Structure 1
Amino acid sequence: MTPNLVYIVLVGVLFAAGVVLLLERSLTRILIGVILLGHGANVLILGGGRAGGTPIVGTVPTEDMSDPLPQAMILTAIVITLAVTAFLLALAYRSRDISGHDEVQDDVEDRRIVVLAERDAMPLTDDQDQDAA
């Protein structure tokens, strides 16, 4: 069985858009990115299933039944995505309630590490080399 080209393009677009939105600083955009990634995973799993009859014993021959595992995995992925979406929505609401916006701020420790890394990367002048010796 070969996958449909529309499924492949749709999965690629959903994953690409989800990753781009996850890299943003706004929690609402991160939320939309997680939702798109969840939908991309569902479509990816959906494209992997074999077409066939209803997987109920006695309705169709066993070799003609479709595999119910992809459907169960998609249902599980939907529940997990819903839980993560609810958590991120509560986080964005609380962040907006406290600070007035939902932007993720830089951590003070991260800024300090960047300053130290920039200082260590700067070449020493002749005066500093003599002082160090």
Structure 2
Amino acid sequence: MDKLFVNYFETAAIILFGVGFVTLLLHNNLIKKIIGMNIMDTAIFLFFISKGFIFGKEAPIVSDVHKGTYGYVNPVPTALMLTGIVVAVSITAFALALTVKLHEEYGTIELDEIMKIRRE
């Protein structure tokens, strides 16, 4: 139980992922599903960035004095998450564009209504 309160970034990331996952599973509205997917993406970004950060170390920007390789935080997780954010924004834009096209075609963005129309 002590580790739960020490690792509060990881705990928050797991809770956020759960909220996004439940939103993705339980709602039929496509916009709500996209929001749930974005919450899950944000949780993953928070988790990886919190794992890549080490208290007491600095960003890897050498200004006056070089502190050696152990004086800086590893920049790779942050760079990967920046790439992930760009991909997540692109996927969100694509999903919203598909939602607009589905609304134009079927007149609704509720998945159960779209499936009902498709069966008829």
TM-score for the superposition, normalised by structure 2: 0.77
Higher helix share: 2
User: Structure 1: where are the runs of 5+ without partners?
Assistant: 112-133
Q: Flag the 1:21–1:63 CA change in 2: closer, same or farther, 3 A.
A: same
One-letter amino acid of the counterpart of residue 14, structure 1: L
Q: Show the 5 A alignment for 1:62-101.
A: 62-101=69-108
Tell me the distance in 1 between the aligned counterparts of 2:39 and 2:59: 29
Q: RMSD over aligned Cα, in angstroms?
A: 2.5
* Offset of residue 97 of structure 1: 1.9
Asked if 1:103 is matched to 2:110, the reply is yes
Identity of aligned residues (%): 28
Aligned counterpart for 1:22 among listed residues 21, 24, 27: 24
SS state at 1:48 partner: helix
TM-score for the superposition, normalised by structure 1: 0.70
Q: Flag the 1:20–1:81 CA change in 2: closer, same or farther, 3 A.
A: same
Tell me the distance in 2 between the aligned counterparts of 1:69 and 1:107: 47
One-letter amino acid of the counterpart of residue 46, structure 2: V
Work out the number of aligned pairs and report it.
Answer: 109
Q: Which has the larger radius of gyration?
A: 1
User: Deviation digits for residues 91-130 of structure 1, max 9, x if unmatched?
Assistant: 111111222210123389xx8xxxxxxxxxxxxxxxxxxx
